Amino acid sequence: MSRLPLEQKVLSENDRIAAGLRERFLAHRVFCLNFISSPGAGKTSLLERTLERFSPKERVALLTGDIQTDNDAKRLARSGFPVKQITTGGACHLDARMIERALADWPLESLDTLLIENVGNLVCPSSYDLGEAAKVVLLSVPEGEDKPLKYPSIFFKAELLILNKTDLLPYVSFDLAKARAHALQVHPGIEIIEVSCKTGAGLEDWMKWLAQRRESAKAGETPASGQV
Amino acid sequence: MHELSIANSILESVRKERERLNGARVTRVGVRIGALAGVDPDALSFGFEVLVKGTDLEPLALAIEWTPRRHECPHCKHVFTVVDYQFNCPACGAAATRCIGGDELELAYLEVEET
């Protein structure tokens, strides 16, 4: 019996495709974000509110992943921006190959911003690089403030945490200060924005973050992220 | 539950390596999984067994090496394992320590039968 060392990433094939996507995004100056949360935390609502706030001249497109149905694509298409549904047919996450396929007939030259809504799942999507500039994690207040400690991987890898549904704070026992502290415990330096897609509170802060982050990405700056 | 697709990626790599080794008999594959990788070892082992069963790879064992989150102190350079999110340097007490490992999802080694 002999033991052969084999130092390579398990998901090296996904990482290879993601690296190719990242290179293409850079070459075409496309700013790409990957939105991750558990089901029902409000990814689609946040994207709807975001698209409403973009000028129709903005060159924005969306990819939205779900296990079944194209309900989200239908909701998002009302904005008038190009939207494509990726139906994974059972897979609990999007992987880089699905993105590559979805983009095959979408000319990147016509885009400045690509927003990817991952499958609702706080665990699996965190393992798959999609070539994005940054991951954004959403946590809604009914889910409880201990989620960053229970699911550290995604909070560690995300650059921004959006605490959504703050309009429900009077009705649920959710400690905002604790939620912030837990996220910062897992990922010192993670940025945090509180929003309510219902009332619109905090959405301007989010739009500002998005605009600034897009500028710094175009300027080629690498942000501080949780990636080791 | 993405452990099944991760198990599948591991098996694809084993097949590729086996080809490179001219069809050598691979008996065990070692993987390294970090606390921050978001992968459950039990679910991975289960998915791995299911996928290997009844294939030409059988019998093939999976060995999982679990790696904790590690931090380094920027002041005294002490490297330590993080337990219960305690990030302060145990050597000098500094607070702003830096994460240097714990998100591994790597193939570490193959064990191959001598021919």
pLDDT in tens, chain A (228 residues): 889 998 889 999 999 999 999 999 999 999 999 999 999 999 999 999 999 999 999 999 999 998 888 888 899 988 899 999 999 887 889 999 999 999 998 889 999 999 999 999 999 999 999 999 999 999 999 999 999 999 999 999 999 999 999 999 999 999 999 999 999 989 989 999 999 999 999 999 999 999 999 999 887 765 544 445
Among A12, A125, A89, smallest CA distance to B12 is for: A12
CA dist., res. A176 & res. A166, Å (int): 9
CB A64 within 8 Å of CB A76: yes
Q: What is the pLDDT of residue B114?
A: 75
Interface with chain A: mutation pick from B4, B13, B17, B36, highest number of A CBs within 10 Å: B36
Q: What is the pLDDT of residue A48?
A: 96
Q: Between the CA of residue A50 and those of A54, A75, A213, what are the distances in Å?
A: 7, 13, 15
Q: What is the ipTM of this complex?
A: 0.80
Q: What is the pLDDT of residue B2?
A: 86
Q: What is the pLDDT of residue A222?
A: 59
Q: What is the pLDDT of residue A221?
A: 63
Q: Do B107 and A9 touch (CB under 8 A)?
A: yes
Q: What is the pLDDT of residue B93?
A: 93
Q: Mean of the pLDDT values across residues B52-76?
A: 95
CB A57 within 8 Å of CB A139: no
Q: What is the pLDDT of residue A140?
A: 98
CA dist., res. A139 & res. A151, Å (int): 11
Locate A188 and state its tokens: 């010192």
Among B57, B61, B76, smallest CA distance to B19 is for: B57
- Domains recognised in chain B with CATH numbers: 3-68+103-112 (3.30.2320.50)
CATH code for the part of the protein at A14-218: 3.40.50.300
Name the average pLDDT for chain B: 93
User: What residues does A134 pair with on adjacent strands?
Assistant: A33
Residue A34: CB partners within 8 Å, gap ≥ 6? A116, A118, A125, A130, A132, A134, A135, A136
Q: Between the CA of residue A214 and those of A200, B52, B92, what are the distances in Å?
A: 22, 45, 39
Only one residue has tokens 């699996």, namely A124
Instruction: Give the pairing type, strands B70-72 and B79-81.
Output: antiparallel
Residue B72: band (very low, low, confident or very high) from pLDDT cuts 50, 70, 90:
very high
Measured between CA atoms, the residue of chain B closest to residue A157 is B36
Residue B40 above 80 pLDDT?
A: yes
Q: What is the pLDDT of residue A67?
A: 85
Question: Using omega within 30 degrees of 0 as the cis cutoff, is the peptide bond preceding A170 cis?
Answer: no
Locate A226 and state its tokens: 């949780």
Residues of A with CB under 8 A from a CB of B: 1-14, 91-93, 95, 123-124, 126-128, 149, 151-154, 156-157, 185-186, 188, 226-228
DSSP three-state, residue B24: coil
DSSP three-state, residue B66: strand
Residue B65: band (very low, low, confident or very high) from pLDDT cuts 50, 70, 90:
very high
Q: What is the pLDDT of residue B63?
A: 97
Q: Do B12 and A13 touch (CB under 8 A)?
A: yes
User: What's the gap in Å between the CA of A191 and the closest CA on chain B?
Assistant: 16
